[in-house]
Chains A and B, each alone.
Chain A
Amino acid sequence: MSAREYRTVSSAQGSLLVVRQAPAVAFGDQVLIRDHRNQLRHGQVIRCSEAEALIQVFEGTGDLDLENTWVRFLDQPLEINLAPEILGRIFNGLGKPKDNRPPILSNVRRNVNGSAINPAARTYPREFIQTGISSIDGLNSLVRGQKLPIFSASGLPHNRLAAQIVRQARLVDEESSFSVVFAAMGVSYADARFFQEEFADSGVLGNVVMYINLADDPPVERLALPRVALTAAEYLAFDLDRHVLVVLTDMTNYAEALREVATAKGDVPSRKGYPGYLYSDLAELYERSGRIKDRHGSVTLVPVVTMPSDDITHPIPDLTGYITEGQIVLSRELHNQGVYPPVFISPSLSRLMKDGIGKGDTREDHPRVANQLYALYAKALETRNLAAIIGAEELSERDRRYLRFAEAFDSQFIGQGEDEDRSIIETLNLAWELLSMFPKDMLTRVSETDLARYHRSDK
Chain B
Amino acid sequence: MIIQTREISKRFGEIIALDGVNFEIEAGEVVVIIGPSGSGKSTLLRCLNGLEKTDSGEIIIDGIKLDKDKSSIHKVREELGMVFQEFNLFPHLSVLGNLCLAQEAVRKRSKPDAEKISLELLKKVGLLDKKDSFPNQLSGGQQQRVAIARALAMNPRIMLFDEPTSALDPEMIGEVLEVMKTLAKEGMTMLVVTHEIGFAREVAKRIIFMDQGKIIEEGKTEDILNSPQNPRTIAFLSKVLK
Judge: A and B partners, yes or no. no
Interface residues of B (CB under 8 A from A): none
